[in-house]
Amino acid sequence: MTRESRTPVLEVRDLRIYYETPKGDVHAVDGISFVLYQGETLGLVGESGCGKSTAAMGILQLITPPGRIVSGQVLMDGVDLLKLDERTLRQMRWSRLALVPQGAMNSLNPTMRVHQQIEDVIRQHQTKTKTFDRSQLKPRILELLSWVGLPERVYDMYPHELSGGMKQRVCIAMAVALHPGVIIADESTSALDVVVQRVVAQTLLRVKADLGVSMIMIGHDMGLMAQMVDRIVVMYAGRIVEIATVEHAFRNPAHPYSQVLIDSVPTISERKPLKITEGITHDPRNPPHGCIFQLRCPFVMERCRREAPQRREIRPGQEVACHLYEQQPDGSYRDVRDTA
Amino acid sequence: MGRIPRQYLLRRLRIFILTIWASATLIWIIPRLAPGDPISAMVGQMSQAGGYVEGSEEIIEGFRARFGLDQPLPIQYLRYLLNLITLDFGYSIASFPTPVSQIIGQALPWTFGLLVLAMTITFLLGNALGALMIWTHTPHLIKVLIPLGMVFTSIPSILSGLFLLYIFAFILNWFPVQGAYALGIIPGLNLPFILSVIQHGTLPALAVILVNFGYWALGMRGMMITVQGEDYVQLARAKGLNPLYVLYRYMIRNAILPQITAFAITLGTLVSGQVLVEYIFGYQGMGKIIYDAILARDFAVIQGASFIVICMTAGAVMVVDLTYPLVDPRISHGGE
Ligand SMILES: Nc1ncnc2c1ncn2[C@@H]1O[C@H](COP(=O)(O)OP(=O)(O)O)[C@@H](O)[C@H]1O
Ligand SMILES: [Mg+2]
């Protein structure tokens, strides 16, 4: 697929989401922009607390107090979701944009049977041209369940009767019930044991292959990301520091923070001493002036404290926000460390 | 979910009977721990009030024989248990020779009619308002009004009862002041009687509702805050479901579970719990007879009433135990 032919399905522009606290606003998402293209899987990575879930909830328009969307746009087919009225937004939910929540969490209503929870969303969104009566609904739900590899008996079960991996597959079946164009999976394999993780990941891959949906996968398992996604968005403290294809992100990560993240992936052939990386060091209510990563960056320069770096495409398929990369007169970029 | 396993039912019934037996024994023992016995206490009271009582010794002996107090204790105890099974609580001491069971039998329907209805309304209203306090789609005005309405919760029921009486009975004259139905109406299934009962019951019921709904509302509010943060509620919103449907099927349905248990226990104790309300409104229910019995030191009536309260509480708890798996599928009947 050439880059020019890709059609964007979801575009986030300068999204800012703050949480109000007694000591001031936490800048959980602080001006992020990215594009999700038709049929691609975008990995959203970054350490815990960097704002991945907040960004996802912002896209889904599910931010509740004390959180609030300060500014920005979330465009789907040219329509800004932030400007939609309650009813239109509700109609658009799930039929266009679905969520696979975190694995093994209580994402299913404990007092409803599995089929009831899939049924209600199908019923809610049925249109005049596409209505289901009871006799059609059951085979449809059974089809969805078997499609994610669940036995028929799951249909009548309650969530507490299912294992974590089964619950997660119910969630995936639910997510694809209305054939949405975009699915956001927020840590959908975390909190599951490794074998189950792979099963769930495979199910997600099937969703992508069979249905051609575009997906945003949030997670911190870099190994899993490498297998599943096309491009990686690296977030740090509410901002995007790098967007790169998987190849670039793993072979030559550009941002010092991306390098730390990739370095932390263990391999058998080459045992590295564990790199100690602390959490976000600055107060999230009061981000430093200039580059967001300056307090932890081993290559910090005087300029980093003065001005925030813009995100620029340093080579095809790799955008980074870092002063280490300087544009040459011929238009290409070079690493300032190479000559220093 | 589904049918209650027979074995579990039997085991639960055993516990029920055991509870009642143990409490019945306690009720029997406690008065006997006091020095003397109820009869000498009563005659003593009489002589205090009226000076010397002619032939008091013979009176005491006569009564002791009549109440079986001259028998050895184990016989007394066995007799007591046998009588309980037939709901025979002996005779009232204060209004001898009316049987206690007759006094209770007359009061119980009134208490049931008034309080079960009032408490059910209280429960439904309190929980609905508590849920509305949290729901994001509730109009602002309602969110402000609910806490204001709960002022009554912090006022003792005797005061809010008097307040209601004063406003609606004395000043507005909308409702009668006293009693359960108007004098001169023949109790039965006829319209004037039913209307009169409703008219007389409204104020006491209102007092119960006003004083108690706040507790349910606050409990529900707390549960709703917890449920609101649950992942499944967030997912329900992401699914684009109707907000009203999300409110009752995803939020209230889960938040109300602990409230149901609490409600059953309240139903069990309501007989004794609303003594003051019945007293203020001159309502001839269980609360009233318990109140009168305490004043008159009528042990027999107190004992009988206590036994009824115990049976109702134990019964309510058993019913909750048996039916809880129907409302919460995560709970199963033990051992299944
Ligand atoms: N309800 C909240 N109130 C205040 N701060 C919050 C709230 N929810 C999240 N945050 C803060 O927002 C930041 C981003 O959180 P989150 O989006 O959950 O991160 P991630 O999903 O990447 O782990 C964190 O610093 C977190 O402390
Ligand atoms: Mg998260």
Q: In total, how many domains does chain A have?
A: 2
CA gap B292, B298 in Å, rounded: 8
Average confidence (pLDDT) over A46-56: 93
Looking at the fold, whether A231 and A170 belong to one and the same domain comes out as yes
A280-294, A306-320, B137-151 — most confident range: A306-320
pLDDT given for residue A184 in this prediction: 96
Looking at the fold, whether A53 and A174 belong to one and the same domain comes out as yes
Residue nearest to atom 6 of ligand 1 (CA): A19
pLDDT given for residue B35 in this prediction: 66
List pLDDT tens digits, range A244-284.
999 999 999 999 999 988 887 766 666 666 565 666 778 88
pLDDT given for residue A19 in this prediction: 97
The residues near B265 (Cβ < 8 Å, ≥ 6 apart) are: B313, B316, B317, B320
CA gap B261, B321 in Å, rounded: 9
Tokens describing residue A34: 């990215």
Better-scored residue on pLDDT, B153 or B229: B229
Tokens describing residue A174: 């639910």
* CB A254, CB A270: distance < 8 Å: no
CA A25 to centroid of ligand 1, rounded, Å: 11
* CB A120, CB B245: distance < 8 Å: yes
Q: What is the CATH number of the domain that holds A26?
A: 3.40.50.300
Looking at the fold, whether A136 and A283 belong to one and the same domain comes out as no
Residue nearest to atom 24 of ligand 1 (CA): A49
Looking at the fold, whether A211 and A263 belong to one and the same domain comes out as no
- Above 60 in pLDDT, residue A86? yes
pTM: 0.84
Q: Is residue A147 part of a domain?
A: yes
From the list A91, A111, A120, which residue is nearest B328 (CB)?
A: A111
pLDDT given for residue B334 in this prediction: 63
pLDDT given for residue B336 in this prediction: 44
The residues near A80 (Cβ < 8 Å, ≥ 6 apart) are: A73, A74
List pLDDT tens digits, range A95-140.
999 999 886 578 999 999 999 999 999 999 987 666 667 778 999 9
Domain B106-297: give its CATH code: 1.10.3720.10
Looking at the fold, whether A210 and A306 belong to one and the same domain comes out as no
pLDDT given for residue B30 in this prediction: 81
Chain B environment of A89 (Cβ under 8 Å): 240
| Ligand lying closest to the C-alpha of residue A48 | 1
Share of chain B above pLDDT 90, in %: 21
| Ligand lying closest to the C-alpha of residue A20 | 1
Looking at the fold, whether A209 and A266 belong to one and the same domain comes out as no
Chain A environment of B136 (Cβ under 8 Å): 64
pLDDT given for residue B1 in this prediction: 46
How does the average pLDDT of chain B come out, rounded?
83
Question: In which residue are the tokens 């004992």 written?
Answer: B303
CA A46 to centroid of ligand 2, rounded, Å: 10
Looking at the fold, whether A233 and A261 belong to one and the same domain comes out as no
Q: Is residue A63 part of a domain?
A: yes
Taking each helix axis from N to C end, the angle separating B100-111 and B299-327, rounded to the nearest 10 degrees, works out to 40
Pocket of ligand 1 (CB under 6 A): A 19, 21, 26, 28, 48-54, 66-67, 284
Q: Among A168, A203, A237, where does a domain finish?
A: A237
CA gap B204, B282 in Å, rounded: 9
Angle, vertex CA B246, rays to CA B244 and CA B247, nearest 5: 60
Looking at the fold, whether A216 and A298 belong to one and the same domain comes out as no
pLDDT given for residue B144 in this prediction: 87
To the nearest whole angstrom, how far is the Cα of B75 from the nearest Cα of chain A?
53
pLDDT given for residue B250 in this prediction: 97
Q: Is the dihedral of CA B225, B230, B232, B235 positive or negative?
A: positive
| Ligand lying closest to the C-alpha of residue A105 | 2
Looking at the fold, whether A164 and A20 belong to one and the same domain comes out as yes
* CB B271, CB B286: distance < 8 Å: yes
Looking at the fold, whether A265 and A232 belong to one and the same domain comes out as no
Q: Is residue A246 part of a domain?
A: no
Q: What are the Cα distances from residue B273, in Å, to A237, B173, B278, B287?
A: 57, 28, 10, 7
Give the side-chain half-sphere CA count within 13 A for B124: 5
The pick from A54, A184, A282 for probing ligand 1's pocket by mutation, whose C-beta has the most ligand atoms within 8 angstroms, reads A54
CA A72 to centroid of ligand 1, rounded, Å: 18
CA gap A233, A217 in Å, rounded: 10
- Above 90 in pLDDT, residue B269? no
- Above 90 in pLDDT, residue A29? yes
Full residue range of the structural domain in which residue A313 is found: 257-339
Q: What are the Cα distances from residue A112, in Å, to A32, A109, B257?
A: 37, 6, 14
> Could you tell me the residue ranges of all domains in chain B?
106-297
Residue contacts between A and B (CB atoms, under 8 Å): 71
Listed range (A163-177, B138-152, B221-235, B264-278) with the worst mean pLDDT: B264-278
Tokens describing residue A89: 């937004």
A173-187, B65-79, B158-172, B290-304 — most confident range: A173-187
Looking at the fold, whether A202 and A266 belong to one and the same domain comes out as no
List pLDDT tens digits, range B12-57.
899 999 999 999 998 888 877 766 666 666 666 666 666 666 677 7
The residues near B115 (Cβ < 8 Å, ≥ 6 apart) are: B208, B270, B271, B274, B285
Q: Is B179 left (phi over 0), alpha (psi -120 to 50) or beta?
A: left
Q: B10: buried, middle or exposed (CB in 10 Å: 19+, 13-18, 0-12)? A: exposed
